[in-house]
Structure 1
Amino acid sequence: MGNFVLLDWIRICLIAILVYLAYYDLRTFRLPDVITLPLILLGLLFNSLSNQRFISFQDAIIGAILGYTCLWLLNLLYRIVKKQDGVGMGDAKLLAALGAWLGWFALPSILLMASLTGLIGGIIWLQWNKQNHRSAFPFGPFLAIAGIIELLWPQTLQTLLLSKPV
């Protein structure tokens, strides 16, 4: 019972941090290193030292590396084509943190959910703020929402997409 309660508190704290990061990114267009970098480290430590870890330490390391590298490469390609940044590195660090906590196998779901909600949310954001399609909008909130969904209901997207209709 005690370990179950501890995992619940860890999930609650992680959700609170993700909600705060989403709010902060909406207000400032920044994801502060003072939060994202310790979040990566805490995810790695939790999954390496805890008996109640979410994933193996190896999956956490791979998740952190792939999470960061994926958005870093996407930004590099965008910079080559458009001569400007397309994704902030705070977003890459947030995805690395989600990879450290939830593992590399959660990253495709997180990215797909964040991209779909970001597409819809981005259109609403740009309309609300009366900006054109070339204007920037924060992607961190969508990563945070997708991370929370994956934390609370793991592999929901795979279940929805791959389940056989009855």
Structure 2
Amino acid sequence: MGNFILLDWIRIYLIAILVYLAYYDLRTFRLPDVITLPLILLGLLFNSLSNQRFISSQDAIIGAILGYSCLWLLNLLYRTVKKQDGIGMGDAKLLAALGAWLGWFALPGILLMASLTGLIGGIIWLQWNKQNHRSAFPFGPFLAIAGIIELLWPQTLQILLLSKLV
């Protein structure tokens, strides 16, 4: 029972950090390295050293690398085409942290949920602030929400999609 309680406290800690990062990004359009970088390291250490880990250390390492690389490459492609950045590297570090904690296999679902909610939320954000479709809006809150959903209900999106296909 003590192990179950420890994992619950770790989940609460992660949720609190993700909520704070979402709030901070909404207010400043920034995700601070002072939080995202240690979050990556802690996810790697927890999943490598703890007996109560969420995933294997290999999945955590691959998740951190793929999480960062995916958004870094997407931004590189956008920058090549549009000659400006399309996504902040704080978002890439946040996705790397989610990959370090939840594994590489959680990343497609997190990205899909964040993108869908970001599309809807972005339209609302731009309308609320009376801006046009070319204006920036923070993506970190949508990554954080998707990460919380994946943390609390792992693989929910995949299960829902696969159950409809089968």
Q: Answer yes or no: same fold by TM over 0.5.
A: yes
TM-score, normalisation: structure 2 = 0.99
**Alpha-carbon separation, structure 1, partners of 2:106 and 2:122:** 23
Q: Note the C-alpha offset of 1:96.
A: 0.1
The CA RMSD measured in Å over matched residues stands at: 1.0
**Alpha-carbon separation, structure 2, partners of 1:95 and 1:122:** 19
**Alpha-carbon separation, structure 2, partners of 1:27 and 1:48:** 34
SS at match of 1:67: helix
Assess, with a 3 A threshold, how the Cα gap between structure 1 residues 124 and 51 changes in structure 2: closer, same or farther: same
Following TM superposition, the consecutive aligned residue runs of length 4 or more in structure 1 with deviations greater than 2 angstroms are: none
**Alpha-carbon separation, structure 2, partners of 1:8 and 1:152:** 10
Gaps (5+ residues) in structure 1? Answer: none
**Alpha-carbon separation, structure 2, partners of 1:165 and 1:114:** 22
Q: Note the C-alpha offset of 1:164.
A: 4.3
Q: Note the C-alpha offset of 1:115.
A: 0.1
**Alpha-carbon separation, structure 2, partners of 1:138 and 1:164:** 32
**Alpha-carbon separation, structure 2, partners of 1:132 and 1:160:** 34
**Alpha-carbon separation, structure 2, partners of 1:135 and 1:49:** 43
Q: Note the C-alpha offset of 1:42.
A: 0.2
Q: Which moved more, 1:156-165 or 1:28-37?
A: 156-165
Q: Which string of whole-angstrom CA distances, capped at 9 and with x for unpartnered residues, describes residues 30-69 of structure 1?
A: 0000000000000000000100000000000000000000
The question of 1:25 aligning with 2:25 is answered yes
Length, aligned pairs only = 166
TM-score, normalisation: structure 1 = 0.99
The question of 1:75 aligning with 2:81 is answered no
Equivalence map 1:98-117=2 (5 Å): 98-117=98-117
**Alpha-carbon separation, structure 2, partners of 1:38 and 1:46:** 12
SS at match of 2:165: coil
Q: Note the C-alpha offset of 1:165.
A: 7.6
Assess, with a 3 A threshold, how the Cα gap between structure 1 residues 165 and 67 changes in structure 2: closer, same or farther: closer
Assess, with a 3 A threshold, how the Cα gap between structure 1 residues 123 and 164 changes in structure 2: closer, same or farther: closer
Q: Note the C-alpha offset of 1:86.
A: 0.2
**Alpha-carbon separation, structure 2, partners of 1:14 and 1:113:** 18
**Alpha-carbon separation, structure 1, partners of 2:130 and 2:92:** 27
